[in-house]
A and B are shown apart, each in its own frame.
Chain A
Amino acid sequence: MHEWALAEAIISSVSEIAGKEGLVEVREVKIKVGELQQVELDVLEFALSELKTGIIKNAEFVIETVEAKLKCRVCGQKWSFSKNKLNAESIEAIHFVPEVIYAYIKCPACGSPDFEILEGRGIWLESIKGVK
């Protein structure tokens, strides 16, 4: 249900940008969602379809999930996020606030919690196409 909050944010942001760009109708919105957000895409898509009104009403939302890549700041090890190694409680916590990953994951090579999220977090409006 947290997806609804994100959907609301997307709709609000698209309306604002479309208004600034002078669009009379939005046709396509490309969104990138970081894997760490642990967003349920079907819920997000449903929420977007329910919330879109006005000039966004007929827009198609194209959502791409960006794989999470992590890099240790201490030893340089790079690895991918795998939720299979976490219990349900930790996955849910990361779903709400991806940055709590630092409480649950450590570098697989040296054990440091000081790593960088190279990509795969947050939510990003990639492009908005429409008619002026």
Chain B
Amino acid sequence: MADPRIGIINKRLEKVKRVIAVSSGKGGVGKSLVASTLALILSKENYDVGLFDADFTSPSTHLILGIKEIKTEEERGIVPAKVHGLKYMSIVAFSREKVLPLRGADFSNALIELFSTILWGDLDFLIIDMPPGISDATLDIIRLVRKIEFLVVSTPSPLAFETVEKLLSLLKELKVPVNGVVENMKVKEGLFVKRKVEEAGVKFLGEIPFDPEIENALGNVNALFKTDFARKLGEIASKIISPSV
């Protein structure tokens, strides 16, 4: 007849003002770093922010944020952990250091279970670090979360952008709001991505130069804040906070 968990998902997100999925057509473009750092930046701006790592098979936000243990609580549902001022949830809280291979249907079921039981409470922003591509995760998030918006990350590589273009087409077709595209790991001048994004009728939010120091800052939030990457993403964040900027 019906899976009762699905119906409750949007009620669980009732007090969350904006839900932003940080996504890309390809892996390795810096999506998790953008999602984690964006969540930290918004929190520093005094917004109430949640970060949900939906990359169940390759979660990495806990490593970026230097989280050793994810302490969730159980109180008529799952209360997310509180880390660096964020409400935080990752499947690592349950799979721990183990390998978690998941096929599509298993991913969908895990996503439904978590979205129906996590109590996010009042939030200005819930940032979701998405797995790459346009398969189950993307389709499920669009299907399940009514107020979803997408923030798309690309690199200057035509290969990465080729997949981003497909993601943008899908989002357009499904009438899902897109905040815009961030061009990450920029190494030389060039307008290829900007031009293509604008041709697609999507907002180009800005570029982030390749930052060789970023690897050294992983796992250390204070060091992360001091990177050029975070500074540049801070400028982009203001366009996400106020889309008219």
Residues of A whose CB lies within 8 Å of any CB of B are 1-2, 4-6, 8-10, 12-14, 16-17, 93-94, 96-100, 102-104, 113-114, 117, 121-128
Q: Which residues of A contact B106 (CB under 8 A)?
A: 99, 102, 117
B145 to chain A, nearest CB (A): 15
Asked whether, in the complex, the Cβ of A123 is within 8 Å of the Cβ of B5, the reply is: yes
Asked whether, in the complex, the Cβ of A17 is within 8 Å of the Cβ of B1, the reply is: yes
Chain B positions 78-101 with a Cβ under 8 Å from a chain A Cβ:
78, 91, 93-96, 98-101
- The distance in angstroms between the C-alpha atoms of A97 and B98, with both chains bound, is 14
B7 at interface by CB-CB < 8 Å: yes
B25 to chain A, nearest CB (A): 25
- The distance in angstroms between the C-alpha atoms of A10 and B113, with both chains bound, is 13
Q: Given B75, B96, B101, B109, which contacts A121 in the complex, CB threshold below 8 Å?
A: B109
B117 at interface by CB-CB < 8 Å: yes
Q: Which residues of B contact A94 (CB under 8 A)?
A: 94
Q: Which residues of A contact B8 (CB under 8 A)?
A: 5, 8-9, 12-13
Asked whether, in the complex, the Cβ of A124 is within 8 Å of the Cβ of B3, the reply is: yes
Measured CB to CB, the nearest residue on chain A to B114 is A97
A79 to chain B, nearest CB (A): 17
- Knowing A9-B116, A97-B114, the reply to whether A103 touches B4 (Cβ < 8 A) is no
- The distance in angstroms between the C-alpha atoms of A114 and B96, with both chains bound, is 19
CB-defined A-B contacts under 8 Å, sample of 30: A5-B8, A5-B76, A5-B77, A5-B117, A6-B4, A6-B116, A8-B77, A10-B4, A12-B4, A12-B7, A13-B2, A93-B95, A93-B96, A97-B91, A97-B113, A98-B110, A99-B56, A99-B107, A100-B94, A100-B98, A100-B100, A102-B106, A104-B98, A113-B99, A114-B103, A117-B106, A122-B113, A123-B4, A124-B3, A125-B2
Asked whether, in the complex, the Cβ of A124 is within 8 Å of the Cβ of B102, the reply is: no
B93 to chain A, nearest CB (A): 8
B15 at interface by CB-CB < 8 Å: no
Asked whether, in the complex, the Cβ of B101 is within 8 Å of the Cβ of A102, the reply is: yes
Q: Which residues of A contact B100 (CB under 8 A)?
A: 99-100, 102-103
Asked whether, in the complex, the Cβ of A128 is within 8 Å of the Cβ of B113, the reply is: no
Q: Which residues of A contact B45 (CB under 8 A)?
A: none
Asked whether, in the complex, the Cβ of A96 is within 8 Å of the Cβ of B78, the reply is: yes
- The distance in angstroms between the C-alpha atoms of A6 and B117, with both chains bound, is 7
Which 5 residue pairs spanning A and B have beta carbons closest together? A13-B4, A103-B98, A5-B77, A4-B76, A99-B110
A62 to chain B, nearest CB (A): 13
Q: Which residues of B contact A128 (CB under 8 A)?
A: 1
Question: Which residue of A16, A97, A117 has the most chain B CB atoms within 10 A of its CB atom?
Answer: A97
- The distance in angstroms between the C-alpha atoms of A5 and B117, with both chains bound, is 6
- Knowing A12-B7, A99-B106, the reply to whether A1 touches B76 (Cβ < 8 A) is yes
B198 to chain A, nearest CB (A): 40
Apart from A100-B91, A126-B1: 16 A-B pairs, beta carbons within 8 A:
A1-B75, A2-B74, A2-B78, A5-B78, A6-B4, A12-B7, A12-B8, A97-B91, A97-B113, A99-B113, A100-B95, A102-B101, A114-B101, A122-B113, A124-B4, A125-B3
Chain B positions 199-217 with a Cβ under 8 Å from a chain A Cβ:
none
B44 at interface by CB-CB < 8 Å: no
Asked whether, in the complex, the Cβ of B2 is within 8 Å of the Cβ of A124, the reply is: yes
Q: Which residues of A contact B98 (CB under 8 A)?
A: 100, 103-104
Asked whether, in the complex, the Cβ of A5 is within 8 Å of the Cβ of B110, the reply is: no
Asked whether, in the complex, the Cβ of B109 is within 8 Å of the Cβ of A122, the reply is: yes
Measured CB to CB, the nearest residue on chain A to B77 is A5
Measured CB to CB, the nearest residue on chain A to B119 is A5
